[in-house]
Amino acid sequence: MPYAPPRLCHVTGHPPFTGKGCPLCAAAYRKPTHNAFYHSGTWRRIADTYRASRAGICEECGAPHASHVDHKVPRARGGSDDPSNLQLLCTVCHGRKSAREGSRWSARG
């Protein structure tokens, strides 16, 4: 592969780069993802507390070992993290509910 010389960024102070674009500019303009909340410590605490209160039983079918803490009304549609808006689902029921709701990205505006 031929050597590509470093290019200069249009922003003063950014170092020269190789590749498709300046990594500093890309990081600055990257929007936070919808899933960022679900990887946060806040959500883990909420989910762990709720999971412990339900003893691992699926609220839809009663199967043991349910692991998906799910919002009845999705956060993207105005739902809250209040326990009254949460439910513990097994993998099968969670997949079924997600398919019924359609694409979660369509709710974002």
Q: What is the pLDDT of residues 81-101, one digit of tens each?
A: 999 999 999 999 999 998 888
Same domain? For 89 and 37 the reply is yes
SS (H, E, C) 34-55: HHHHHHCHHHHHHHHHHHHHCC
Same domain? For 26 and 37 the reply is no
Three-class SS of residue 11? coil
- Residues spanned by the domain of 58: 33-107
pLDDT of residue 106: 47
Window from 6-20, 28-42, 43-57 with minimum mean pLDDT: 28-42
Whole-prediction pTM: 0.62
Residue 20: pLDDT band (50, 70, 90) is confident
Q: Which residue has the higher pLDDT, 92 or 23?
A: 92
Total number of domains constituting the chain: 2
Same domain? For 95 and 42 the reply is yes
